[in-house]
């Protein structure tokens, strides 16, 4: 007869562990990590894996992508609110408006390196709903402020609350999928940002028609309604966000064993329990890859925020009304969303994330060169398409690239926190380069974004790929074998990406 484990049923053993969450409860057998597919042919094992991947994708990706759509919508809708009269109604100077953009990125970037540790300790099903309710409150209050000081306060706390979502979800997904499977999932997740830009323009144009209702201007209703929606989504997330593989209640014991087995085959230990130690933090800080990927990410992230915050204003300066400018911002984002997923798919199959970054960044460089070099509305609008196409795919691809090359539960979490935090800190720069005095061409702003794309994104990707390939060559030739001499099997495993047999993704 088949054992309970083979049937995927709970077993009663003295050292079993009870797992609860989301109103569910079952017992995880102590020996469930035994391979449930032992003895099966490769075709049968592959069939089980395909079924498992489909199950994971349906449970994890749609809702998490929706959360990021909400997040990006909430942080960038101030650009839509501006062209509907926010700055004039609150009697803010151009410098004060830029300061309200900058303050978000300061708190956002400062708290990001800490959030992945909290995510691991509090569990995703607790941590993510808490921060969503928090930023939903902040978002709603932005529609109730009456002056510059109130808006600054709300934007600061919005940055603190949102800091945990993007690095947290990327880290979380990297603990579920193989390195060759992660890129397309990260791309689908991040494509929600492009959809948010597209959907945000449509939504802002519709909500702005409520101008005067309840004595509130249209821009205030943008914040209030989107903030209330975030509150609702945050509460629902308690039941729709699952914990890490070792505690996720939707997995049967067999599926749990398959997830962990697949990660082990991929030279990962991310699904297993690991206690936080400061040595993991310092291992990330001392790793050159942390700072190499941080430089690349600042190239695409600084450009991203400049683009998303000011696209409605740029289009508005081409001579269109506020509503038309919001609507015309939709197509570039739609193109970016499609290309983001396409690049993620290509990078997963070719394992050439660096080359994908380099090739895609060229589109952005051409796009911003068009914005900088031509005053024709048609050329500038075409440049926004290439700009979006060259920026958005590189965000998800860079995060996947960094995640693929860092092993260890907490080290990866800290590294992603630093990389994303440093990138987002450049939102402070992005918030201040499109000045009102530079209308209508915004040459200094376009020039700064172009420099970011060339120096940090494109050249940074070239240098990092070269260094990773150089290290792989040393590992293949046995020059790093000395790192494991005299160590036990467990000590070797704990080396993570410092193991000589761990080859970097290029």
Q: What pLDDT is stored for residue 29 in this prediction?
A: 43
pLDDT confidence of residue 140? 95
DSSP, res 504: P
Evaluate whether residue 153 is within a structural domain: yes
The confidence score (pLDDT) of residue 31 equals 45
With respect to residue 416, please indicate whether it lies within any of the assigned structural domains: yes
Residue 482 lies in a domain: no
Tell me whether residue 109 is in a domain.
yes
pTM across the whole model: 0.79
pLDDT at 53: 93
For residues 416 and 410, give the distance between their C-alpha atoms in angstroms, rounded to a whole number.
10
Q: What is the 3-state secondary structure (H, E, C) of 125-141?
A: HHHHHHHHHHHHHHHHH
Instruction: With respect to residue 481, please indicate whether it lies within any of the assigned structural domains.
Output: no
**pLDDT means over runs of 10, the chain (506 residues):** 36 44 46 68 86 93 91 83 90 91 88 80 91 95 94 94 88 86 89 75 82 90 94 95 87 88 73 62 89 95 84 75 73 89 93 95 96 86 93 94 86 86 85 83 91 96 97 93 84 81 90
pLDDT in tens, 22-57: 544 444 444 445 677 777 888 888 888 899 999 999
Total number of domains constituting the chain = 1
Q: The domain containing residue 76 runs over which residues?
A: 59-254+274-476+491-498
Distance between CA atoms of residues 195 and 308, nearest Å: 11
pLDDT at 113: 75
Q: Given this model, what pLDDT does residue 32 score?
A: 45
Whether 87 contacts 145, CB under 8 Å:
no
Closest to 111 (Cα-Cα) out of 126, 131, 137, 133: 131
SS3 465: helix
Q: What is the CATH number of the domain that holds 382?
A: 1.20.1250.20
Residues 6+ apart with CB under 8 A from 271: 175, 176, 244, 245, 246, 259, 260, 263
- Assess whether the previous peptide bond of 440 is cis (omega < 30° from 0): yes
Residue found by looking up tokens 């060169």 in the block: 369
User: Contact 391/304 with Cβ under 8 angstroms?
Assistant: yes
Residue 5 and residue 8: Cα distance in Å, rounded?
Answer: 5
Burial (CB < 10 A; 0-12, 13-18, 19+), residue 188, is buried
31-53 burial, b at 16+ Cβ within 10 Å, e below that, comes to: ebbeebbeeeeeeebeeebeebb
Q: Is 26 helix (H, G, I), strand (E, B) or coil?
A: strand
């Amino acid at each position: 007869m088949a054992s309970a484990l083979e049937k995927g049923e709970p077993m009663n053993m003295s050292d079993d562990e009870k797992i609860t969450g989301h109103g569910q409860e079952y017992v995880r057998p102590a020996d469930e990590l035994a391979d449930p597919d032992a003895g099966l042919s490769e075709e049968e094992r592959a069939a089980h894996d395909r079924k498992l991947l489909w199950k994971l994708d349906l449970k994890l990706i749609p809702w998490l992508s929706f959360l990021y759509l909400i997040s990006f919508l909430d942080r960038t809708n101030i650009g839509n609110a501006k062209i509907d009269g926010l700055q004039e109604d609150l009697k803010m100077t151009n410098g004060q408006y830029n300061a309200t953009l900058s303050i978000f990125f300061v708190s956002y970037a400062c708290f990001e390196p800490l959030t992945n540790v909290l995510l691991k300790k509090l569990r995703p099903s607790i941590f993510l709903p808490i921060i969503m309710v928090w930023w939903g409150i902040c978002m709603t209050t932005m529609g109730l402020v009456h002056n510059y000081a109130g808006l600054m306060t709300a934007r600061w706390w919005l940055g603190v609350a949102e800091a945990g979502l993007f690095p947290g979800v990327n880290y979380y997904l990297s603990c579920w999928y193989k390195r060759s499977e992660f890129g397309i999932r990260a791309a689908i997740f991040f494509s929600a940002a492009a959809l948010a830009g597209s959907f945000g323009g449509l939504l802002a144009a519709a909500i702005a028609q409520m101008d005067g209702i309840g004595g509130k201007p249209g821009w205030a209703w943008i914040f209030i309604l989107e903030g209330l929606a975030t509150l609702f989504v945050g509460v629902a997330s308690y039941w729709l966000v699952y914990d890490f593989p070792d505690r996720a209640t939707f997995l049967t014991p067999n599926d749990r064993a398959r997830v962990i087995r697949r990660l082990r085959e991929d030279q990962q230990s991310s699904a297993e329990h690991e206690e936080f130690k400061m040595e993991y933090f310092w291992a990330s800080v001392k790793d050159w890859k942390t700072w190499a990927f941080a430089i690349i990410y600042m190239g695409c992230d600084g450009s991203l925020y400049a683009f998303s915050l000011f696209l409605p204003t740029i289009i508005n300066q081409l001579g269109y009304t506020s509503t038309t400018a919001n609507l015309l911002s939709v197509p570039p984002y739609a193109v970016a969303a499609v290309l983001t997923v396409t690049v993620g798919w290509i990078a997963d199959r070719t394992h050439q994330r660096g080359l994908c970054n380099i090739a895609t960044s060229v589109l952005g460089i051409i796009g911003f060169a068009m914005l900088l070099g031509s005053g024709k509305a048609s050329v500038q609008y075409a440049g926004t398409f290439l700009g979006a196409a060259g920026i958005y795919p590189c965000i998800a691809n860079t995060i996947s690239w960094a995640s693929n090359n860092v092993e260890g539960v907490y080290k990866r979490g800290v590294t992603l926190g630093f990389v994303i935090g440093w990138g987002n800190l450049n939102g402070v720069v992005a918030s201040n380069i499109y000045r009102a005095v530079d209308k209508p061409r915004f040459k200094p702003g376009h020039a700064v974004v172009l420099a970011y794309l060339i120096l940090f994104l494109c050249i940074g990707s070239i240098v990092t790929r070269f260094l990773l390939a150089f290290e792989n060559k040393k590992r293949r030739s046995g020059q790093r074998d000395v790192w494991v001499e005299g160590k036990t099997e467990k000590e070797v495993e704990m080396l993570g990406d410092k193991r000589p047999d761990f080859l970097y993704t290029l």
